[in-house]
Amino acid sequence: MAIDFTDKVAIVTGAGGGLGRAHALELARRGAKLVINDLGAAMDGSGGSSESADAVVAEIEAMGGTAIANGASVSDADGVAGLVAQTMDAFGRIDVLINNAGILRDKSFGKMDLADFRAVLDVHLMGSVMCTHAVWPIMKQQQYGRLLMTTSVTGLYGNFGQTNYGAAKAALYGFMHSLKMEGAKDNIRVNTLAPIAWTRMTAGLNPVPEDQAKEIAARIAPEKATPAAVFLVSEDAPTGIILSAGGGTVARAAMMESPGLYLGDDMTVEDVAANYEQIANMDGAVVLNHNGEQAQKNAELTAKATGG
């Protein structure tokens, strides 16, 4: 059965190009009404222009869809409030929010100005938090909402020179895991995408010759990550899931915990050191869905070891 978004209203931040544009176009093709948010800034967040958002709106209208543009910065509280008010004035509801806006200020940690660290957190993390907080009461009242965070492989696994970006992106899946529980009773589902895509943001990370760049850009074009994003904001989407997607591949990423080892109430530093290899062995590792499951796992491990 085709996944349909007819009568649904979606906000996509950072939708003037790259991944956001690809997500917005696919949602529009499937019937959604779109709000294209994009500050139109440089990669470091400086400047601003409405041209990119207006161009995506024109693309959607040319295909017979409905869209409006918004130029607010997601790191500005008044701008976010205006974005939500504009959406409600135009369409009367908000069903989907894709938090995609981002900036880069890469530098090795020892050379990084903390203002640049904070600026990246403000856009990626607090921008997602503020946009989500603004739509949350609307989705609760509707008893329907689909939220998508955008992490990255840097947030999941790290990358040299991107401590600020990695910290912001990792924080988003921590945000998701608690938010999924708070939204469950109101039919609000929260997921995270870890896209693998050649965009304006990623093109400069690993400079390659022009002919190779064109080949890579085609192989991992932004639209190849979009099916996973759109699935994660669909009516029958799961909740609390991270999907890594790009170039035709999709995988689930998850925080896992080893089986662990009970060392006793009186364990010492030396006990941990002596048993580290077994403690760190990931054979039989499990995905834990909330902190209660982790507590239960530890209780069972203790009971098994002590016969209690």
Residues 285 and 271 in one domain: yes
How many CB atoms lie under 10 A from the CB of residue 148? Answer: 28
Residues 62 and 180 in one domain: yes
Q: End of a domain among 211, 231, 253? A: 253
Q: Which amino acid is at 172?
A: L
Residues 158 and 176 in one domain: yes
The count of structural domains within the chain is 2
Buried-state track 271-293, b at ≥16 Cβ within 10 A, e below 16: eeeeeeeeeeeeeeeeebeeeee
List the Cα angle 152/16/205 in 5-degree steps: 40
Domain-embedded: residue 33: yes
What integer pLDDT is reported at residue 198 of this predicted model? 60
Residue 236 is part of a domain; what is its CATH number?
A: 3.40.50.720
69-73, Cβ contacts within 8 angstroms, sequence gap of 24 or more: 69/35, 69/36, 69/37, 69/38, 70/35, 70/36, 70/37, 70/38, 71/37, 71/38, 71/39, 71/40, 72/37, 72/39, 73/39, 73/41, 73/45, 73/48, 73/123, 73/127
Range of the domain at 283: 256-306
What integer pLDDT is reported at residue 289 of this predicted model? 87
Residues 249 and 276 in one domain: no
CB contact set of 50 (below 8 Å; sequence gap of 6+): 40, 69, 71
> pLDDT tens, position by position, for the chain (308 residues)?
799 999 999 999 999 999 999 999 999 999 999 999 998 755 554 545 578 999 999 999 999 999 999 999 999 999 999 999 999 999 999 999 999 999 989 899 999 999 999 999 999 999 999 999 999 999 999 999 999 999 998 989 998 999 999 999 999 999 999 999 999 999 999 999 999 856 555 555 555 566 665 655 556 678 889 999 999 999 999 999 999 999 889 999 999 999 999 999 999 999 999 999 999 999 999 999 888 998 998 998 888 889 86
Would you say 181 and 205 are in contact if contact means Cβ atoms under 8 Å apart?
no
Residues 299 and 168 in one domain: no
Nearest-angstrom CA–CA distance, 120 and 45: 9
Residues 210 and 267 in one domain: no
Residues 207 and 292 in one domain: no
Q: End of a domain among 253, 276, 291? A: 253
Q: Would you please indicate which residues are annotated as catalytic (active-site) residues?
A: 165
How many CB atoms lie under 10 A from the CB of residue 64? Answer: 8
Nearest-angstrom CA–CA distance, 114 and 275: 38
pTM of the model: 0.90
How many CB atoms lie under 10 A from the CB of residue 259? Answer: 14
